[in-house]
Structure 1
């Protein structure tokens, strides 16, 4: 067999093996592409009327929200500007079972303390879709390897597809860049598969590689190291000094002082989030985001809960200005995956990349099935197959 025929067989069987998962990931990716825009347009409880008075401190909002969900632990209090509701986030991850015990957002008017909405994130539409996109709605230890493996296969499909797409001569080159519409459906389907696959490949590689960063630890560490990274990729909490006197911050709740400090340090931030200590040895974590539409430029800071002294960290989730190139690239992973790193135009590009990626298993299967139904002998059919992208 020639090299292209061998590549074609690899392309075919890997496509059949992973097609359903790739179709599903493409469709759910399309749904998630404009999540922020859809939520902003359809969820009025996210907004409040701006007032001249000061917003209520985290230590005030926390017990208001806790009354709505007694017995549950507050993970963070987030402020997103003067015209948006404050969000009190309840979240608990059970290390024993590696599952999320609960996840809620309580939306509170930051001026009056009025509770606007209690949302169980386990029933939120976009979170349900996200869990499908990440884990196929299976336990994480089962679903994540399946999704990651299908994504890795998709990379191989893209590379093998380019080999098959590559025109043999100048005459064939003209047929590789445009779709013929006034032809029989089989030829049109082939062009949709071949031409759209080529144009989408370059964006799909970004989608796949950023997905693999989440899917495989070995891939994430390898990519980070290759980019020159030298820090720990996993979040590890620094410790507070439990021997220090609590009187050092007795004039106001420590979490309020951290929140006030963050407002001074980041007067133009579009979002500031503070985290109550998880334990007696945990710090007060805080972060400030200059752009609500993305995540990669967030500054993460950690303060001793007793002395308010800032604690150093040795992982990528520190201050953005101090991050090395590899750290910034790793932090950019989610925004690259969604296209948000270049704004609305990037989201539109990734939406169409996901849509085309979802179509390729369908058009590829149609090509394979149509050729199986030919009455010609199997040997002759194989010898006349045209290369295609799946």
Structure 2
């Protein structure tokens, strides 16, 4: 029986990190590849839609805008027996009346000319290409309670793989560093593949970690609450709750119809030069509150100002959760608010989206180049130690 050289103590840690890196990579690889590719597709969703869907735009005109309830009434005729969730105004763009109901399982958008009321497009979002990709990226086209934990767990493993890969790859000396931080394009394919996996992985690691962690915030409630707890100095997150109007002195059930128009007009009067987006949420019954969301920068979501009003008295209702007035948001609230914009790179504008696209593309390549490294080493091992 031959002598087996024991693993040195100082190398034992790297050995087990390497084992975990290998097997967890093999287990999660297909999901990481999928998330990376779908992430690339979604990176420029807004830009692609604006380029090919002309009905999204209506030129600004020197005439009065139709009120929210007027546009809702027109859209209701196009989609009878469905509840309008919100009416969105933005200068230069067509008004969107969104019909969304999680329980009834429908999602439509009616695009309207906000000056004439002309219906430009009735879109079933279940047939929308980007919506289909989003459902895959979030839920793997499975029920959310099944698909989301699978993909978020794969994302968590990917974050670990990035860190463990850095531990395994980090050069021991200055001489080695000079060689390891560049991709040798003229080298043989095995060496090139190794560099593509490790060097590109290193350069995109920090961006990919932010993308991965932000994905975990959306996918795991416990992780989202932990991030909030850490960033707030130990405070618990106030979860979103529906806001209700006071019905104790109810005199007219239909007052919400005109109340939404009154509030909308007041917002426009208070800021006539407003260039962002304005969402009006008309309540379905006499209990609901009217929500108006004002966003100065519609290319992102985190700075939106959410206001809630009693539909019977027009009195503003203060809320405790993070989706209220932006001025009232704490640092922890803002971190959670900007999470989606971080995830898609929109937090840094178009350059951020380009970086997110490149990082997603490299992330998608990591399982492929990693498997090729593993197969190459396995083949080499079989050649050195052939079976008798």
Query: Shorter-chain TM-score: which interval?
Result: over 0.9
The question of 1:299 aligning with 2:316 is answered no
Cα distance, 1:147–1:266 mapped onto 2, change above 3 Å: farther
Structure 2 unaligned spans of 5+: 1-6
Aligned counterpart for 1:376 among listed residues 373, 379, 383: 383
Q: Are 1:242 and 2:247 matched, yes or no? A: yes
Matched, 1:276 2:267: no
Q: Mapping of 1:256-335 within 5 angstroms? A: 256-267=261-272, 268-335=274-341
Cα distance in 1 between the residues matched to 2:294 and 2:288: 19
Q: Check whether the contact 1:246–1:307 (CA below 8 A) recurs between aligned residues.
A: no
Which of 349, 358, 375 aligns to 2:355? It is 349
1:92 aligns with 2:106: no
Equivalent in the alignment of 1:227: 231
Retained in 2: the 8 A contact 1:45–1:85?
yes
1:18 to 11, 19, 28: 28
1:181 paired residue number? 185
Report the counterpart of residue 108 of structure 2 in structure 1.
104
TM-score (norm 1): 0.92
Task: Give the match's secondary structure for 1:334.
Answer: helix
**SS, match of residue 356 in structure 1:** helix
1:79 and 1:272 in contact (8 A); partners too = yes
Query: How far apart are residue 348 of structure 1 and its match?
Result: 0.6
Match for residue 28 of structure 1? 38
Does residue 51 in structure 1 map to residue 61 in structure 2?
A: yes
CA distance in 2, matches of 1:4, 1:157: 13
TM, length-normalised to structure 2: 0.93
Map of 2:3 onto structure 1: none
1:204-225 Cα shifts (integer Å, max 9, x gaps): 1100110000111100000001
Q: Deviations over 1:30-65 (max 9, x none)?
A: 000011111111100011132211110011011110
Partner of residue 204, structure 1: 208
Q: Alpha-carbon deviation of 1:244?
A: 2.6
Structure 1, gaps ≥5 residues long = 95-99, 380-390
Separation of aligned partners in 1, 2:267 and 2:228: 30
Cα distance in 1 between the residues matched to 2:350 and 2:219 = 26
Q: CA deviation at 1:280?
A: 2.2
Distance of 2:256 and 2:178 partners within structure 1:
75
Distance 1:167 1:352 in 2: 25
CA deviation after TM superposition for structure 1 residue 269, in Å: 4.3
| Secondary structure of the corresponding residue to residue 300 of structure 1 | strand
- Indicate conservation of the 8 Å contact 1:231/1:316, yes or no: no
Q: Is the 8 A contact 1:232 1:314 kept in 2?
A: no
Alpha-carbon distance between aligned partners in 2 of 1:232 and 1:262, rounded to the nearest angstrom: 30
Equivalent pair of 1:245/1:307 in contact (CA under 8 Å): no
Which of 153, 157, 161 in structure 2 is aligned with 1:149?
153
Take 1:281 and 1:195, find their aligned partners in 2: how far apart are those partners?
A: 58
CA–CA distance in structure 2, aligned partners of residues 46 and 204 of structure 1: 32
Return closer, same or farther for 1:264/1:327 CA change in 2, 3 Å cut-off. Answer: farther
Count of matched residue positions in the alignment of Structure 1 and Structure 2: 373
Distance 2:95 2:218 in 1: 29
